[in-house]
Amino acid sequence: MFATFPPPPQLSGYVRMFWVFEHEVPAGEAYVYRSMADGCAELIFHYRNRFAPLTGTEGAGFSHLHAQTSRHSRFLTHGSFGIFGAYLYPTAVPALFGHSSAIVANCMPDLQSIMGRSGIDLEERIITARYHHQRVEILSEYLISLLRQRKQEASAVQIAVRSILAADGMVNISELASSVSLSTRQFERNFKSAAGFTPKLFTRIIRFHRALNAYGAFDGNLAGLAYECGYYDQSHFIHDFREFSGYLPREYFMGRPEGIEYRE
């Protein structure tokens, strides 16, 4: 079961959605989940069972910040599980927690590391909540309290990130910098600090996610899919897809990838 919940209006510029992923694993079997490269960060809470990392990352706690990442990782669990998460805009990391996105990119710090003692209390409240709507309320109240402390207004990079996501990564970086009244160099520097990656890498990852969303509807036309996702040729598409997922496109779309249940 995979379900999503919208954030309250106060968080709409920072949280894309809240989500729940539950899956029943047959007794004695293992379940492997593959996390793809993602330009956005997530707050993760394992309220039933937990995953241990197999590759590409560290940490195996019950809760953590899964910061934006430019690589795929694999996680293993034995037994049925339940996970609650908040899918964040990348600029939410400095806005909410006061940490540069560039510093935490490709990392998975535990909540105490980024929130202090309140992170421990938050973890306990989320994990012990009986219902999903309670988890949404608890985390929403906590994040809103952080925003009130910092009182940040929308920045040029926040506006640019929303534009890139809305366009599925198919934007001109120079034109985007000009639209927010910054030179290309200023824009790239500010963007990396606030969003974790250079604008070029971020847009590549977002285009890759446009391709991922074709799962279940891929008709076998790889060249058409590459063009639809903003690639000039198949070779660049195949290169990015393999770098960010660990799969060749046909392996992913024509086979049964790891941890795909939430898309079905």
Q: What is the pLDDT of residues 70-110, one digit of tens each?
A: 999 999 999 999 999 999 999 999 999 988 899 999 999 99
Tokens 């998975």 correspond to: 108
Residue where a domain terminates, one of 135, 150, 165: 150
- Best CA proximity match to 108, nearest among 51, 63, 74: 63
For 181-224, the pLDDT digits (tens) are 888 889 999 999 889 999 999 999 999 999 988 876 777 788 88
Name the strand (E) or helix (H) holding 33: strand 30-35
- Residue percentage of the chain with pLDDT more than 90: 62
| pLDDT single digits (tens) 28-53 | 889 999 999 999 999 999 999 989 88
Give tens-digit pLDDT for 125-135.
Answer: 999 999 999 99
Q: How many domains does the chain have?
A: 2
Same domain, 92 and 54: yes
Same domain assignment for residues 55 and 134: yes
Write down the H helix ranges in 151-262: 156-166, 173-179, 184-195, 199-212, 222-228, 234-245, 249-254
* Arithmetic mean of pLDDT over the chain: 90
Final residue of a structural domain among 124, 150, 176:
150
For position 260, what pLDDT does the model report? Answer: 79
Query: Does residue 173 share a domain with residue 48?
Result: no
What pLDDT is stored for residue 155 in this prediction? Answer: 81
Q: In this model, does residue 151 exceed pLDDT 80? A: no
Question: What CATH number did the domain enclosing 145 receive?
Answer: 2.60.120
The pLDDT assigned to 264 comes to 64
How much of the chain is helix, strand and coil, in % rounded to 5?
Answer: 45, 20, 35
Q: CA dist 62 to 3, 84, 126, 259, Å? A: 20, 11, 10, 19
Classified as helix, coil or strand, 224 is: helix
Co-location of 143 and 166 in the same domain: no
Is 207 found in the same domain as 120? no
Look at residues 121, 150, 179 and tell me which one is the last residue of a structural domain.
Answer: 150
How many contiguous H segments (helices) and E segments (strands) does the chain have? Answer: 12, 8
74 lies in the same domain as 175: no
The token duo for 254 is 């024509």
Q: Note down the domain range covering 90.
A: 2-150
Q: What is the pLDDT of residues 227-256, one digit of tens each?
A: 888 888 899 999 999 999 999 998 888 878
* Strand (E) or helix (H) holding 111: helix 111-115
d(CA 224, CA 70): 25
Domain identity same for 112 and 213? no
Q: What is the pTM of this model?
A: 0.91
Question: Is 130 in the same domain as 232?
Answer: no
**Residues 80 and 125 reside in one and the same domain:** yes
Is the model's pLDDT at 58 over the cut of 60? no
